[in-house]
Amino acid sequence: MAVIRPHDLLWGMTPAHLASDAPAWVACALADGQPVVVRRGRGGPGLVAVGVRGVSRDQRHAGCMPLAAVSRQVSPEQLSHSIGLRDWPALQALYRLRDRLDDFGLVWGVSGGAGFELASGFAALHAGSDLDLIMRTPEPLSRDAARRLLGMLEPAVDLQLQAPAGAVALREWAGPSRKVLLKAADGARLVDDPWGVAA
C-alpha cells in the first residue's frame, strides 16, 4: 500500500467500523460500497482519520478506519486524466485545464466531489459544483509563481497547495495578505511561510 495522504480515497471501511452514535446515513453510505476520504488529523495507532460523504453537502461524518481494512487506495493525482460518466461544468473545467496544469511542472490531482465521482462512480457533483484540485509542492512555491498559477485557473476552481506540514489555499498564497491559513493534522493556524513549518 502506498503512503496514505489527505484527500486519498480508501475502500474497505464498513458499518462495523463506525462508532455506535454514527448517523444512520453513514452506515448506508458504507454499505453501498462508497470510499472514504482521508482527513487531516491523527487517527491513532493502526488507524487513519477519514470522512464519509452523504448525498447532501451537510452530510459529512468524521471517523477512523483501521489501516488493515484498506482494500483499495486512489490518490488525487491518479484522477488527473480520468474521464467522468457525467458532463458537469466542474468536469468540463477539468478537461480544459489539464494541459496547462501539466505544463506547470508540478504533480497535481483532483479532490473534492469531482475526485470522489471520478474514482467511485457515485454521484457527488451537480451543476453548481466547484472543481477542487490539489498540487504537490514539497519545495517552496514563490508568490509570483502562485499568481501565475492562479491566472491559469477559472473562477469556479479551488486549488490547495500541499506543503510538507499541511495545505494552504492557492488564492491565499497568491493574495496580498502576509499571513495565510495552513491546515495541518493538529489544526489550522496562520503562518508567514507554509514551507517553514515543521511537518
Is 21 assigned a catalytic role?
no
Contacts of 177 (CB under 8 A, 6+ apart): none
Indicate the SS3 state at residue 73.
Answer: strand
**130 catalytic, yes or no?**
yes
Catalytic residue among 132, 158, 186, 193: 132
DSSP 58: T
Distance set, CA 196 to CA 17, 72, 107, 141, 147 (Å): 37, 33, 21, 12, 20
Active-site residue identified among 130, 158, 186, 192? 130
DSSP string, 23-54: -HHHHHHHHTT--EEEPSS---TTEEEEEEE-
Tell me the pairing of strands 157-163 and 9-11. unpaired
Give catalytic residues, as residue numbers.
Answer: 130, 132
